[in-house]
Chain A
Amino acid sequence: MKKENIALEAHNLTVIYHKKPVLWNIDFALPAGEIIGIMGPNGAGKSTLVKAILGLVPLNSGYSRVFDQEFEKVRHRVSYIPQRQTVDWDFPATVRDVVMTGRFQQRGMFARMNDEDRRIVSDALEKVGMSAFAGRQISQLSGGQQQRVFIARALAQQADLYLLDEPFVGVDASTEAAIVDMIRAMRDEGKTIVVVHHDLHTAPEYFTWLVLINASLIGAGPLSEVFTDEKLRATYSGKLTILSQVGDKLREKNFPVREK
């Protein structure tokens, strides 16, 4: 892959929580302009991988690069959509308030929002079909509507790389279809979309690229190369539980994971 084509790369990424390796030597390079799934069984470290790339969890070793630069330098080109359940939807805010936070990065902590911001927010709400709900309290939304609000916020960020953590969990079928359509439209505009996902049935339909992990990397590449029986079995069969057993032992004995 040519350097200028790479949207996201991880080198030797290792994350250790409480002495237990959650991500182990993850190494991959993902091309721009694709819809990429990150898949693996429960507890495989999918969400942690995304957070590690964004610097939300401390790395024990390795690094990631975005558009061939340090993440800090291209932060404004990256949009993160956390799992819907991680926030308190009883917060006193309207749908528009939440989508407006998608403009905070461009304006910083202090500058005023201007008409352009308001227009971008309205457009984003329009695209996810939530215009009619702009003034509604977020505590009154259904799961699917909450996810649409999060997508609208991401659209308002006008990024080039989108990282979505489990966007299809607990949403209705029509919202799932709408999100998939939106993701495809974004890809057609040249954006790169990375989706943490766990439903194997829909994976070949949704993604053009795939990353399989189970603490360590099983495969990363075009769908046809990675979505194979052999690789899926390696990801989901539990052969790698030996690694997690060793991890448990390390924690039990309070052993360091690396020599220094």
Chain B
Amino acid sequence: MKSGLIEDFLFLGDPNVRIVLPGVLVLCAMAALVGNFTYLRKRSLIGDAISHAVLPGICLAYLVNGEKNLFYLLIGALASGLLSVFLIDFLSKNRFARNDTAIALMLSSFFGLGLVLLTYIQHQGGASQSGLDGFLFGKAASLSELDVYVFSISFLVISGIVYLFRRGFGLMSFDEDFAQSIGFPVRWLRFFLSVLTVWAVATGIQAVGVVLMAALLIAPSLAARLWSNSLKQMIFISVLVGLLSGYSGSLISYLKPGMPTGPWVVISAGVFALISLMVAPGKGLLSQWKLRKSNETKMLTENLLKLFYQISEKSENQTAVTEDDLLNRRSLNRSDLSRGLKLLIKNNYVLDIQGAWRLSAEGEIEAKRIVRLHRLWELYLQEYLHLDADHVHDDAEAMEHVITPDIERQLEEILGRPERDPHQAIIPRVYDTK
């Protein structure tokens, strides 16, 4: 039976799904699309304020009109949403309140007013029939065919506007002063964006509810930012994430009747953002962790090579080094030591001679390079940062591993091709040019 359900869902065999699913998908795509600019302009909290602030507008529209007419409800939502944005900007620009204070104040005041009106409508006995209570937490199942048409047209119009004004919206989100200095109508662009945001929120709350709407604006952009390198990419990916969230949320609530659609859509969006945070290339936690691991390995192997070199420096006729020789000179735990040695053997830097080790020809060059960087850096720290000779070792220890050939050349130059480090040890040359 389950597979039959899924088929019904995928192929829209169920007449309810045929309306609810496209409705939810379009809402999510729309919120994700405008959410990019909310996110990039660091106005996420204003998105939250807007979604709470549309409630009184919806209730007033219902009271004035006496019935649940989508058109009037949207007008009411748009009016009170825009009013809240205007008030937030006005309060923070005139220093009556800080921006965060203004947002918090407007969010709760408008929402409070909305709740009062909603209770009033309920006491008149109209709310349950009107379906207005669905606006609080969303009621995707109550979407009508007309709703879906209106949403789809809204989405097309908003997409068209974003496409047409992409240059203005993009530049304004990055550098508003510059945009204004070259004569872009920044005030108008800002107003357009506010209208688009309020519009997307006002339509979206039917399915998701005012309380959760902000997540639908922000989560797809947050996820998309981690995967994208350009604004265009980010917009496309965020819409995709929005669609996926809408789809999985609807699927869950369809398979488990009684599960609410809106909250599951929002949870899905949150999960997508979280997964992106983990696995996104470069910026994700996983990449960061891998990078740290590879740095640790690099430090371990390079430090071992250095150790080999230092031992050979002390006693020139010693041909091979044992594990104990290495451990005596440096506190290492045995598992790190054997891991490092294995890697060095694999890279042909170290040769295994019956339980003892010696540097190969390549290993010797590499070891010289590292010791040289270490000593050059120590000298630099002493001469230019005026650190004492007995302090420079620890500072050099970590930094030597990131010195590039270019930095090495610069160090050489300003130190005047030095022969000895602060401890009077010889700074080796990899290729003796003299």
Residues of A within 8 A of B (CB): 18, 51, 54-56, 72, 75, 78, 80, 82, 86-88, 91-94, 97-98, 101, 104-105, 109-110, 137, 157
Contacts and interface: CB of A to CB of B under 8 A. Distances in A.
B175 A82 contact: yes
A56 B182 CA distance: 11
Contact of B167 (A72, A80, A87, A104): A104
B421 to A, nearest CB: 26
A51 B177 contact: yes
Interface of B: 40, 42, 94-95, 164-165, 167-168, 171, 173-175, 177-178, 180-184, 225, 228-231, 233-234
Contacts of A94: 229-230
Contacts of A92: 40, 225, 228-231, 233-234
Contact of A137 (B173, B183, B229): B229
A109 B167 contact: yes
A88 B178 contact: no
A56 B180 contact: yes
A137 to B, nearest CB: 6
B183 A93 contact: no
A91 B184 contact: no
Contact of A91 (B94, B167, B173): B173
B230 A97 contact: yes
B177 A82 contact: yes
B188 to A, nearest CB: 11
A80 B176 CA distance: 12
24 contacts: A55-B180, A75-B181, A78-B181, A80-B177, A80-B178, A82-B178, A82-B181, A86-B175, A88-B40, A88-B42, A91-B40, A91-B173, A91-B174, A91-B231, A92-B225, A92-B228, A92-B229, A92-B231, A92-B234, A94-B229, A98-B174, A105-B183, A109-B165, A109-B184
A80 B181 contact: yes
A56 B181 contact: yes
A88 B177 contact: no
A104 B171 contact: yes
Given A82-B178, A104-B171, A109-B165, A75 B183 contact: yes
A102 to B, nearest CB: 9
Nearest to B94: A18
A86 B178 CA distance: 10
A72 B182 CA distance: 10
A98 B94 CA distance: 32
A109 B171 CA distance: 10
B177 A86 contact: yes
Contacts of B233: 92
Nearest to A153: B178
A75 B230 contact: no
A54 B177 CA distance: 10
A108 B311 CA distance: 68
Contacts of B182: 75, 80, 104-105, 157
A82 B95 CA distance: 24
Nearest to A53: B181
Contacts of B231: 91-93, 97
Contacts of A88: 40, 42, 174
Q: Which 10 A-B pairs have the closest CB atoms?
A: A105-B182, A80-B181, A87-B175, A91-B174, A82-B177, A109-B168, A92-B234, A54-B181, A75-B183, A109-B167
Contact of B171 (A80, A86, A101): A101
Nearest to A103: B182
A251 to B, nearest CB: 10
A44 B326 CA distance: 62
Contacts of B173: 91
A144 to B, nearest CB: 15
A155 to B, nearest CB: 14
B295 to A, nearest CB: 17
Contacts of A101: 171, 174-175, 178
B178 A93 contact: no
A10 B65 CA distance: 56
Contacts of B40: 88, 91-92
Contact of B177 (A56, A75, A78, A91): A56
Contacts of A82: 175, 177-178, 181
Contact of A87 (B174, B183, B228): B174
Nearest to B181: A80
Contacts of B181: 54, 56, 75, 78, 80, 82
A55 B229 CA distance: 33
A110 B174 CA distance: 18
Contacts of A56: 177, 180-181
Nearest to B36: A92
- Give the interface centre of B164, B181, B225 by most chain A CB atoms within 10 Å: B181
Contact of B230 (A80, A93, A105): A93
Nearest to B169: A109
Contacts of A137: 229
A54 B182 CA distance: 9
Contacts of B183: 72, 75, 105
B378 to A, nearest CB: 23
Contacts of B184: 104, 109
Nearest to B232: A92
B95 A18 contact: yes
B126 to A, nearest CB: 47
Given A92-B229, A110-B167, 13 more contacts: A18-B94, A51-B177, A55-B180, A72-B183, A75-B183, A78-B181, A86-B177, A87-B174, A92-B225, A92-B231, A97-B230, A98-B174, A104-B184
